């Protein structure tokens, strides 16, 4: 009996070890890529904050966030997120986690919010499987502090800024 018990225990250990090899696999990370520009004036220390929200009722401060620096009047960047959702002893890792929404905000240096846009995930994004990247289908336009300095030129973006400034007053 003891030899039979040892053999069964040894077989069980080999079986558990061979199955545990599959549970070591990790989920690949994915990326959300955004790009856009800021119309109207802004300060050099203003930032674009990109937040990934994983549930409909998630608080904004609890999501995965990345601050993007403005280069001129444009910005671009990527936010990484982990696809891991759960593990099971026999089936391994499940990699189903994706954001529900992507929130993009223009934030001033003092913490004030100038503008925000919310995009549905994955509806507003294209997916590249070879890169593991979701890219926003269109460029984002955020509005900064609008001042009447562009009243000399009758360009469309300046007119929108002037209209917005008047509606705030």
Q: Do the domain assignments include residue 157?
A: no
Q: Do the domain assignments include residue 150?
A: no
Q: Do the domain assignments include residue 58?
A: yes
The answer on pLDDT for 16 being more than 70 is no
C-beta of residue 37 within 8 angstroms of C-beta of residue 105: no
Cα-to-chain-centroid distance, residue 38: 19
Number of domains in the chain: 1
Write the CATH number for 134. Answer: 2.60.40
**Could you tell me the pTM of the whole model?**
0.69
Question: Shortest CA distance to 160 belongs to which of 52, 61, 38?
Answer: 38
Peptide bond into 122 cis (omega under 30): yes
How confident is the model over 36-93, as pLDDT tens digits? 999 987 787 889 999 999 998 888 878 889 999 888 889 999 999 988 887 776 666 7
Q: Do the domain assignments include residue 123?
A: yes
Euclidean distance between CA atoms 49 and 71, whole angstroms: 14
How confident is the model over 92-132, as pLDDT tens digits? 677 888 899 999 999 988 889 999 999 999 999 999 988 88
Instruction: Tell me the CA end-to-end span of the chain in Å, nearest whole number.
Output: 90
Q: Do the domain assignments include residue 101?
A: yes
Q: Do the domain assignments include residue 51?
A: yes
Q: Do the domain assignments include residue 164?
A: no
Residue 70's domain spans which residues? 27-143
Q: Do the domain assignments include residue 116?
A: yes
């Amino acid at each position: 009996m003891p030899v039979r018990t040892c053999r069964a225990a040894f077989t069980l250990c080999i079986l558990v070890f061979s199955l545990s090899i599959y549970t070591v696999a990790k989920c690949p990370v994915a990326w959300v890529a955004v790009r856009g520009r800021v119309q109207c004036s802004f300060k050099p220390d203003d930032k674009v904050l990109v937040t990934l929200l994983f549930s409909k009722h998630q608080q904004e401060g609890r999501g995965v966030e990345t601050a993007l620096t403005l280069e001129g009047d444009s910005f671009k960047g990527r936010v990484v997120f982990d696809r891991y959702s759960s593990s099971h002893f026999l089936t391994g890792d499940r990699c189903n986690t994706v954001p529900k929404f992507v929130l993009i905000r223009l934030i001033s240096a003092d913490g004030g919010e100038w503008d925000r846009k919310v995009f549905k995930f994955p509806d507003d994004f294209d997916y590249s499987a070879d890169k593991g990247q979701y890219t926003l289908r269109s460029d984002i336009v955020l509005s900064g502090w609008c001042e009447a300095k562009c009243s000399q030129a009758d360009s469309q973006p300046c007119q929108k800024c002037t209209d917005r400034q008047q509606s705030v007053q």
